[in-house]
Amino acid sequence: MNMAVDPQPVPELAPAALQLSGITRSFDEGARELHILKGADLRIEAGEMVALVAPSGTGKSTLLHIAGLLERPDGGDVFLGPVNCSDLSDDERTAIRRNDIGFVYQFHHLLPEFTAQENVMMPQMIRGLPRKVAAERADELLAYLRLGERGSHRPSELSGGEQQRVAVARAVANAPRILLLDEPTGNLDPNTANYVFEALSALVRASGVATLFATHNLGLAGRMDRAITLEDGLVQPLSTTG
């Protein structure tokens, strides 16, 4: 005799550090509308490094801007943990960007009139931390990135790789949950790019921050947990081997 078996419920996944669900984004281009993202989905766990490898014009920067709450999508939702940021006001989104998201760009954007230490202190002091606490955290991060003796130097006195490591320290100074990087090694020679990546990777593993790293460097992409690309407005897995 056949006995019916009750189907077991599928357990729900815990909220990801970052999740994009059904993201759409279009831009007006003269007489036509250009559809860049067409329902893109992406999930990144805490401590996971995901490479985003995609040609220019496919929506890479748009995806990063939406993930970083710098831009609102036309449709879909952006979750940081259990929080749906699509429902938040502009002021609330700004507070999350300041406290929970770190950014590193191809150009370091350090403040030229301030030292390396002061650049790393700045986001902490904006958040309201006392100067002494911000300075101690800056010194700790700079030392971790092998810049302990460069804290009193201004950006013009640092090499390109050193400047970019200061930018990494600044991005993680507030212990963000999400780290977004847009070609941070694109202007560096291969040896310096590798050094910056190694330092960044160590910080990510130590802190458990969820990381989305846009790069054209397939060698670096292959060293991350996984790689994705954008095809016809959707996120797709990308093989970095063979």
Question: What's 155's DSSP letter?
Answer: G
* pLDDT cut 70: percent of the chain above it: 94
pLDDT digits (tens, 9 = 90+) for 154-187: 999 999 889 988 998 999 999 999 999 998 888 8
- pLDDT at position 32: 82
pTM of the model as a whole: 0.87
**Residues 6 or more apart from 205 whose CB is under 8 A from it?**
47
| DSSP-derived 3-state class of residue 94 | helix
Identify the band that residue 223 occupies on the pLDDT scale cut at 50, 70 and 90: very high
The answer, yes or no, to whether residue 6 has pLDDT greater than 80, is: no
What whole-number distance in Å separates Cα of residue 90 and Cα of residue 80?
15
Take residue 132 and report the two structure tokens written for it. Answer: 């002494």
Structural domains of the chain sorted by starting position, each given as residue range(s) with its CATH number in brackets: 18-237 (3.40.50.300)
Return the higher-pLDDT residue of 226 and 146.
226
- pLDDT at position 9: 56
Tell me the mean pLDDT in the region 200-222.
Answer: 90
What whole-number distance in Å separates Cα of residue 4 and Cα of residue 24?
43
The chain-wide mean pLDDT, for the chain, equals: 89
- Strands of the 18-29 sheet, one edge to the other: 32-44, 18-29, 75-80, 83-84
- pLDDT at position 3: 54
Compute how many other C-beta atoms are within 10 angstroms of the C-beta atom of residue 52: 25
Angle at 60 between CA 56 and CA 61, to 5 degrees: 100
The answer, yes or no, to whether residue 10 has pLDDT greater than 60, is: no
User: Where is 210: in which H helix or E strand?
Assistant: strand 210-214
* pLDDT cut 90: percent of the chain above it: 61
Find, among 200, 242, 194, the residue nearest to 217 by Cα: 194
pLDDT digits (tens, 9 = 90+) for 137-155: 999 999 988 899 999 999 9
